[in-house]
Structure 1
Amino acid sequence: MSVPTRQHEGAAAPDWQALGLAPFDRAVYLAALRHPDAGAPGWAAALDAPAARVRRAAQRLLQQGLLRRSVRGSGRLEPVDPHEALRSLARRRQEEAARFTAAARDLAEELGAEYQRGRVHHRPHGTLEVVQGGASVARRVEELVAGAERELCGIQAPPYVGEQELLARAGAEALARGVRVRSLYAAAVLDDPARLAHVTAMVAGGEEARVLAGAPLRLLLIDGRSALLPLAVGDSAHGHRALVVYGSAPVDALRALFEDLWKQSTPLRGRLPDRRLPPDGGLGPGDQELVELLGAGMTDEAIARKCGVSVRTLRRRVRVLQDRLGSTGRFQAGVRAAQRGWL
C-alpha cells in the first residue's frame, strides 16, 4: 500500500522524520486530517487497510497527542488541530531531552568517579596516558576540551606548537557553551602581535586572562578531573609528546599549582586606553592596568602594542607615573601605587 503524500503545489514537503512517526502511522494521521469525522473505520476504508491495524496506529497517535476522543462524547477519535498538537509534542520532546541530558550528566559524573577509582586501585598505570605525535596530541586536546562541562584552566607559554591554534578555537567554543575559561599567559606571549590579537579576542569573548612574568610549564586542566602537559616538542610527526593525567592526586596538585600562580598573576582587561592621569590623586583605568602590566614583567614593546601606542609614548607615560609616585623604578612605582590604595 502506498502512503498518500498529497500536498499543495509549491509547498515544502513536511519533515515527517522529525515527528518520529512510522510510515503507516503517518498515513493514518493524514487520513484523519482529511476525514476528521470518519473515525478509525473510515480511515481504514480510505487507506484500504485492515481496521485492526488502523486502530493500533490510531492508539499510538492518541498517546502522542495528535488524536483525541471526540468532544461530542461519542468516544470516536478525531484529530487535534495540528498547530496545537505539534506545539505540545515539541514541548514534550524538549522536556524529555532536557531530562535525559540532566540524567546523563549526573550519571556520567557518578560512573566516571567509579571508573577513575577502578583505574587507580586496580590499574594504577591507567591514570596516565602518553600521547605521541603532533596530530594525535592535537586530536586529544580537542577531545578533552569538547568534554569540558564547567571550567577550563590553561597555562600558555613558549615553545608554541600546533595544538595552540586548536586550543584557541576549542576554547572559544567552550565559552559559547557557557564553560568558564581561565588562562595564564607567559609575558612572552604578548610579545607576538598575532598572539596578542588572539588574547584580546578571547578576553572580549569572556575569557578570564592573566599574565605571568615566568610561567613554569604549559598546562591544560579540564573540570579539575584531568590534565594535559606537553612533554616534548619535535619537528617530526613523532617528536611531539604529551602526558594526560586523569582524576588522581597529581591532578589535584596541578590544580593547586594553577590556583597559586593565578593569585600571583596580573589580570588582563582588554585594550588599554591612552588616558591622562586624573586630577583626583588616583589612577585612571588605563594607568592602573599599565602599572599592573609593568609589574607583571611585560616588555615595553608588548605593552605598547596592547595599548595601541608607540614605545616612545608608552615610555613617556611610564616616566610621568614614576615622577608622580616619586619612584625611581617600575617595581617601586607599583609598590607605591599599592601603598596609596590606587591598585
Structure 2
Amino acid sequence: MRVTHPTDLVSQLAARVGLDREQVARAEKKLSALGLLQRSPSGGWVAISPESAAEALLAPLERDILQQRIAMAATREQLHTLSGDYLEARSMRSAKSSIEIIEGIDNIRAVIDDLGRTCTTSLDALVPGGGQADESLRAALPIDLELLARGIRIRSLFQHSARRHRATVQYVERVSAAGAEVRCVGTMPSRMLIWDRDCVVLPLDPLDTAAAAAIVRDPSVLSYLCQVFEHCWEEGREFLEPDEAPPGAEPTGVEREVLLMMVAGRTNDDVALRLGISQRSVSRIVAQLMTRLGAANRFQAGVRAVELGWLSLQGRSREPAAGPTEA
C-alpha cells in the first residue's frame, strides 16, 4: 500500500487494509529493516524495489565474504608452500631414526592419521583384547572405509572372543562388505599396525596403548614383525564363520585351539586366559569335544583325535606359544 499511498498516515493505511494501527506499524518496521521502506524528506515513506533493497542490504555481506575468501586463499597458498619443507623433514626423520617413540594419545593419533593419508598399498592389523571399545570402533570405521575406497588392502586379525561382542561384529560386517579381510585367532603377541609393509606402529605398553608408541622403520625389525603377522594370519579363521563345526566334523577355529591346549595338559582356566574367552565357554567346548570323541578323559581324547586325523605331531607342536603380553 505504501507504493500507491506513500503519504498516508498509519491510521489511514490501517483503515484501507482492515488492520489495526499496531499491526501496520509493526509491518512498516519490518519492511524498513529489510530496506524496502525509507523515510521521505517530505514526510511519509518511500517504497524501494526489492532488487535495490537487496543490493543495499547484501552488498556489505558480499564484501566481507569476498575478503574472507581472499584471506583463505592466501593462507592456503602459504601452507602449500610449506609442503616441500614438510616432506623433506619427514624423510630426514625416517632416515635419522629407524625407531621413533611417540608419546601421548593425541600425538599417536596424529601420526596414524598421517600414515593413513600417505598409505598406498596395504594395512595389516593385529587387534588383541577381544571386543573393542565402541568409541574406538566408531573412530576407526570411517577411516577404514576411506582406505578401502582408495583401493588399500586391509587385513585385520582379532581374537576369538571378539566374535561375541556385538559392536565389534557390526564393525567387521561393515568393513568386510567394503572389501576388508578379517580373521580371528586364539592368541597373538601384541597390538600392531603395519602400513605399506614399510612402517609398523607398536604400543610400548600393551596394557596402556594410549601412553606411547614406537614407529618402527628398521628393515630387519620390520621384516621380523611382518613374518609374525603372516604367521598369525595363517593360523586364523574367517571372523564371520559359524562358531562351531557340525557334529562329527573336524574342529576348526576356537574348537581346535581348545583341543590343542586340552590334550597338551592345559587346565580350563589356563585355556580361557590364553584364548581370551570365559571359563564357562571353555568348559562347554571341552565337554562337546569329549562327547564327539567318545573319550572319558583328556588322554583318550588326544588318542582319539589323532586316530581321526584331527591332530598330528605337527599340529600338536603348533600350540600357541606365550607372547610378550603373557609374561
TM-score scaled by structure 1?
A: 0.46
Higher relative contact order (CA 8 A, sep 6+): 2
TM-score scaled by structure 2?
A: 0.48
Q: Which structure is larger by alpha-carbon Rg, 1 or 2?
A: 2
